[in-house]
Structure 1
Amino acid sequence: MNEQSDNPAADLEVPEQLRYSDDHVWVDDSLDPAMIGITEYAVDQMGELVYVDLPEVGERVEAGDEIIELESSKAVQPLVCPVAGTIAYVNRDVSDDPSVVTTDPYGEGWMLKITLDDDEPDLLDAEQYRGLLRKIE
């Protein structure tokens, strides 16, 4: 455990039930429609979010599309969608109060729900994502 304390990213929460992209986006594909948000690592890197520009419900997206603009005190960054499908719901609470993403990225801070085109998106499981985090810092 001591070796992990040298790498703050290795100590971040990585829920087992979620799947992850290399761009630090999580997907809960056990739900239908699937839920998408950003990881605790992404939140830590961005700092306090001040603005979130969500896509429109009904919009069709491809994996790799930049679908959400995230603005923080440090940067403006797009969220790259790791899956293809159709936007079914957006979390208006996130656009009204972006700090909910900072305080609860895996819960109330979810960003959108998407009806997936592919039942098996190419994502990392929790252990693979932890391995990615260990390599980062």
Structure 2
Amino acid sequence: MTTAVEETLVLVKPDGVARNLTGEILRRIEAKGYALVDIRMVQADRELLAKHYAEHEGKPFYEPLVGFMESGPLVAIRLAGDRVIEGFRSLAGATDPTTALPGTIRGDLARDWGLTVQQNLVHGSDSPESAARELALWFG
């Protein structure tokens, strides 16, 4: 049985960049055997973030999330590998750092004392369709 190589978008969020965790996050990604296809540091503006998070517009967490994501630089990564979408999401751990298992990026590295759940270090596309849309937004 063969698996198709997928691509996904990974974002190291502003908290990960501010805490100098980008290198450790990249180390974990590469240790899993995924290929870094493209990487760039970005100061995301509201227009880009509104497109990225369009499905969440109107939800209670939308404004805090967009505000957090535009609060500082982030690192956008085009990542490739077998089942990379599912694999990276497993590597990242649960969205809420308080429930993320040890051995995951969020379980080991995310801070969970009184911070909003948006400050969870990384984003990874959740499906092939989302990955295609998000990669087009961030990498053109």
TM range (shorter): 0.3 to 0.5
Higher relative CO (CA 8 A, sep ≥ 6), structure 1 or 2?
2
Of Structure 1 and Structure 2, the greater strand share is in: 1
Normalized against structure 1, the TM-score is what?
0.33
